[in-house]
Amino acid sequence: MSSHLSEQELIRRDKLKQLEELGIEAYPAPMFGVNCNSQQILSEYDDVAKNLQDVNIAGRVMSLTPKGKITFAKIQDEKGKIQLFMSIDNICPGEDKTLYEKVIKHILDIGDIVGVKGEVFITKTGETSIRVKHFQLLAKALRPLPVVKEKDGETFDAFTDPEQRFRQRYVDLVVNPQVRETFIKRTAMIKTIRDYLNDHGAMEVDTPVLQNIPGGAAAKPFITHHNALDVPFYLRIANELYLKRLIVGGFDFVYEFSRNFRNEGMDRTHNPEFTVLEFYVAYKDYFWMMDFTEKMVEQIAIALHGTTDVILGDKTINFKAPFKRVSIYDAILEYTGFDISAMDEEQLLDVCKKLHIETDKTMGKGKLVDEIFGAKCEGNFIQPTFIIDYPVELSPLTKKHRSKPGLVERFELMVNGKEIANAYTELNDPLDQRARFEEQAKLQERGDEEAMFIDHDFLRALEYGMPPTSGIGIGIDRLAMLMTNQASIQEVLFFPQMRPEAQD
């Protein structure tokens, strides 16, 4: 945020003065009645019918090509770009040529927002354009926009510096159309999900972001303070426990796009705040949830790409339902050759040693299984795969498996070697839940910063009776990365977290 103005910024500020002297408002208040957009003009104009002879359109000047008594400009609106043909005769039919000679030829800059009225025609070189009859400046730009040029599909001088792109996303969005596309797709994805859930009778709800007990996940929370109550609050790490309270309350299918906050590391797949869709459905189990989820994900792929095949880097992911289902033990058997299904802790430690996986004494049986899976298996599941039946120690909110001792009814959806969803048959036995929380409390006493707190109100809710329920959390940012072919979470968040800029 430099207080030093560049030559170009000084010149643009001087142009403000020139406008004032001409009696032209640089930032006029009255609305400009837009009656079409660039896309409509390009797709609807018919050179024989000579339609669109009275268009009003507004946008940002992206290029200027003055040629003496005519000037070509390209303006960009929300839908794309359209060329303006501005001639001195059309713009200034009378004696006073100021608007053309001064304003358009000298004061107008790339980056300015303008509104024009005119008629659509096709130039000699075949480009659909607007012959401008009325020109109005709607907002003057005081900073120069990066000028990205293009020829034969090749881009020149693209605005690419990631730091500037993320810090000044507004500039990125103006000059990089593919960035716009990514975010349009993200929004389309969320709309598809919302429609899918609503069509199945779900109710969208809002639950607290400020919580005095951060529950529902194993993660380090952000902490803040409420002055009037003089109590600490945590920013939510998950909304699971609140949605289950609503299930107790009698809403049978609830969902929320939950902005979660975790005070952990940042990298290309982690932002301190991120979005998880969680939904809970009464009287269902995790098998039902797998069916429901794979259909939803398939539908997202089709909505965004028109097909279930989605290109991701050099791979093609096929989101055609049903997805493969592999138990975690079978996955480990397949990729390590070890059948660990009946092993005790000592035998597991031995397997880890043979596989060169680092362990420490705090790791219990469940954690060891998770380590083996994470190190040797996870990355292999490129095509959508449900990994099912996890060790009970890792899943304090999940119901014990109906037939496999030591396991819980849980699945994770793996795509491109990464987890994008985590779901359970929810634990609704209040006594079992209390025992699991107490296990977590012991871990916390041993210094595990990510162990769960005991949430007594949640236990109280379960004691009133929660119907058998299945629930899921889906990483929306991660899913957006998959669906938009992006390798970094920063590319699917408008404003990814950055270190604050130095102020002066």
Interacting positions 117-156 with RNA (CB under 7 A):
123-127, 129, 143-144, 146-152, 156
| Cα Rg of the chain (Å, integer) | 29
- By CB under 7 A, residue 386 contacts RNA: no
> 402 vs 499, which CB is nearer to RNA?
499
- Residue from 400, 395, 396 nearest 412 by CA: 395
Q: How far is the CB of 312 from RNA (least distance, A)?
A: 14
- By CB under 7 A, residue 98 contacts RNA: no
Amino acid at 420: I
Pick from 169, 262, 399, 400: which binds RNA (CB under 7 A)?
Answer: 262
The rounded distance, in Å, linking the Cα atoms of 108 and 389 is: 65
Q: How far is the CB of 33 from RNA (least distance, A)?
A: 26
Pick from 272, 364, 406, 430: which binds RNA (CB under 7 A)?
Answer: 272
Stretch that binds RNA, among 35-43, 160-168, 301-309, 428-436 (CB under 7 A): 160-168
- By CB under 7 A, residue 342 contacts RNA: no
Interacting residues of 271 by C-beta distance below 8 A, sequence separation 6+: 477, 489, 490, 493, 496, 497
Which 401-420 residues touch RNA, going by CB under 7 A?
418-420
- By CB under 7 A, residue 361 contacts RNA: no
- By CB under 7 A, residue 85 contacts RNA: yes
Cβ 166 vs Cβ 152: under 8 Å = no
- By CB under 7 A, residue 443 contacts RNA: no
- By CB under 7 A, residue 52 contacts RNA: no
> 91 vs 290, which CB is nearer to RNA?
91
Q: How far is the CB of 164 from RNA (least distance, A)?
A: 6
Stretch that binds RNA, among 27-35, 63-71, 317-325, 401-409 (CB under 7 A): 63-71
Interacting residues of 337 by C-beta distance below 8 A, sequence separation 6+: none
Count CA within 13 A, CB hemisphere, residue 473: 22
- Residue from 455, 444, 369 nearest 404 by CA: 369
CB atoms within 10 A of CB 157: 11
Pick from 35, 53, 160, 380: which binds RNA (CB under 7 A)?
Answer: 160
Which 277-336 residues touch RNA, going by CB under 7 A?
none
- By CB under 7 A, residue 431 contacts RNA: no
- By CB under 7 A, residue 485 contacts RNA: no
Interacting residues of 424 by C-beta distance below 8 A, sequence separation 6+: 286, 395, 397, 398, 399, 408, 409, 410, 411, 470, 471, 472
- By CB under 7 A, residue 8 contacts RNA: yes
Q: How far is the CB of 272 from RNA (least distance, A)?
A: 6
- By CB under 7 A, residue 356 contacts RNA: no
Which tokens in the block code for residue 97?
């040529």
> 265 vs 405, which CB is nearer to RNA?
265
Q: How far is the CB of 39 from RNA (least distance, A)?
A: 17
Cβ 233 vs Cβ 211: under 8 Å = yes
The rounded distance, in Å, linking the Cα atoms of 18 and 199 is: 58
56 three-state secondary structure: strand
Pick from 13, 487, 494, 495: which binds RNA (CB under 7 A)?
Answer: 487
Q: What track of x and - describes contact with RNA for positions 188 through 227 (by CB under 7 A)? A: -----------------------------xxx--------
What is the SS3 assignment for 360-389? CCCCCHHHHHHHHHHHHHHHHCCCCEEEEE
